[in-house]
Amino acid sequence: MIHTGRHFLQIPGPTNVPFRVLRAMDRPVIDHRSAEFAQLSLEVLQGIRGVFQTASPVIIYASSGSGAWEAALVNTLSPGDKILLFETGRFSELWRQIAERFGLVVEYVPGSWRRGIAASDVEARLTADSSHSFKAVLAVHNETSTGVTSNIAEIRRVMNQLRHPALLMVDTVSGLASADYRHDEWQVDVSVSGSQKGLMLPPGLGFNAISEKALAATRTAKLPRSYWDWNEMLKFNAQGFFPSTPATNLLYALREALHMLQEEGLPNVFHRHQRLASATRTAVRAWGLEIVCEEPSEYSNSVTAVFTPAGHDADRLRKIILDNFDMSLGAGLGKLAGKVFRIGHLGHFNDLMLAGTLSGVEMGLALTGIPHKEGGVQAALRQLAATSAPAPTLWPKS
């Protein structure tokens, strides 16, 4: 089928890459041992700290988010170590799989995939662990498979209240630069992220923001590591270099994306995402469809997962929308396969892009014969018009 105009990439990552970022990448590769390169990498290594809201180092890998998951574990833990991981959806499952392949003993706390991590669960598990056998607590901040967020500040509060010494590791692959995320304030020890979501970059960069405590854990951590070794990276990064060949053009892209985030201002970035997410949910409710996330305080800024009515295949809906309107929506993952479609509303995204996205969904629902009420788009447009976008203010460069 021939399609004209722009493809609508409305999966929850990879996201639409702005022209500014594409142009910034469209340059010759330079010598990664040169002074010019060092200037670029020192700028992005510093700039990315602002997005994690940390003064600590952020490691940048040429990798996907999964590499950054692995890096968090192998730098801090030893075979046989016990870790506590909460089931939030498909991505908590996959992180668990990596941990188990490395011989870590995972206590996997069951979850419904419709709610975030309950502070009471954290409290119960850690209270029962009076011998402090858990070496790390792992949480997914924004579960991309369900559109549910977990309250990381609350998890830290419980850990501190119980004086539990475990490291706190958080996956914010689809939360960073879309929802407020505070590595330092929440005393996160390792924050894991990737380039292809809120940061508006192509896939290919993985991130670990690391606390002093996490860095200290590398001294006793016995899991084998080479490429992922933080200390090796930090040694080179101090001079603006990398131990092996870095993804130079993705670093150009990162520099431009950081400039864009700075120009808009992080609080405005979060507000924009929150507003577009809210209008999305208004449309879904007006269609009479059910949102996967059950708790309003846990709605995701980045993605809304929506159930199709029983007996109606969500993948058929996605295919009809792709074939007819050239729009990609996220599939249901794991146990939600075929039952759910996901609308990505993160990264380089605005009111009219959302209007187009929701129009594609509403037309797709009609074409597929899925029972729904008309008027979801209209309801979302009314809400967008009533909540004007804030004027960008300059993000103070600290």
Ligand X SMILES: Cc1ncc(COP(=O)(O)O)c(C=O)c1O
Q: How far is the CB of 12 from ligand X (least distance, A)?
A: 7
Alpha-carbon distance of 297 to 312, in angstroms, equals: 29
Would you say 173 or 305 has its CB closer to ligand X? 173
Given 126, 137, 169, 173, the residue binding ligand X (CB under 6 A): 173
Residue 111 touches ligand X, criterion: CB under 6 A: no
Q: What is the crossing angle of helices 351-368 and 376-386, to 10°?
A: 170
Residue 121 Cβ vs ligand X, minimum distance, rounded to whole Å: 19
Considering beta carbons, is residue 64 or 78 the nearer one to ligand X? 64
Place of tokens 């009515």: 309
Burial of 157 (0-12, 13-18, 19+ CB in 10 A): middle
Query: How far apart (Å, rounded) are the C-alpha atoms in residues 376 and 288?
Result: 9
Which of 140, 199, 247, 361 lies at the binding interface for ligand X (CB under 6 A)? 140
Contact (CB, 8 A) for 63 and 115:
no
Cα–chain-centroid distance for residue 89?
13
Q: Nearest distance from residue 315's CB to ligand X, in Å?
A: 18
For ligand X, the closer of residues 71 and 261 by Cβ is: 71
How far apart are CB 11 and ligand X at their closest, in Å? 9
The answer for 149, left when phi > 0, alpha when psi is -120 to 50, beta otherwise, is beta
Place of tokens 């390169």: 37
Interface stretch with ligand X, choices 2-10, 43-51, 170-178, 328-336 (CB under 6 A): 170-178
Nearer to ligand X, 111 or 376 (CB): 111
Which residue of 87, 93, 123, 171 would you call a contact of ligand X, by CB under 6 A? Answer: 171
Which of 20, 62, 66, 294 is close enough to bind ligand X by CB under 6 A?
66
In whole angstroms, the minimum distance from the beta carbon of 197 to ligand X comes to 7
Instruction: Kindly state the number of chain residues that form the binding site for ligand X, as judged by CB under 6 A.
Output: 11
Q: How far is the CB of 64 from ligand X (least distance, A)?
A: 3
A 10 A CB-CB count for 31 gives 9
Mapped onto helix, strand or coil, the DSSP state of residue 82 is strand
The helix/strand/coil state of 159 is helix
Nearest 10 degrees: CA dihedral of 340, 282, 300, 254? 100
Strands 82-86 and 134-140: parallel
Q: How far is the CB of 193 from ligand X (least distance, A)?
A: 9
**CB of 195 or CB of 268, closer to ligand X:** 195
Among the listed residues 56, 64, 78, 324, the single contact to ligand X using CB under 6 A: 64
**Segment interacting with ligand X, rule: CB under 6 A, options 60-68, 130-138, 286-294, 369-377:** 60-68
Determine if residue 126 is left, alpha or beta; phi over 0 gives left, psi from -120 to 50 gives alpha, anything else beta. alpha
Nearest-approach distance from CB 144 to ligand X, in angstroms: 3
Interaction between residue 187 and ligand X (CB under 6 A)? no
Q: Choose, by CB under 6 A, the member of 65, 240, 246, 344 that binds ligand X.
A: 65
Partners of residue 82 on adjacent β-strands: 105, 134
Is the omega angle on the peptide bond into residue 14 within 30 degrees of 0, that is, cis?
A: yes
Interacting residue ranges for ligand X, rule: CB under 6 A: 13, 64-66, 91, 140, 144, 171, 173-174, 194
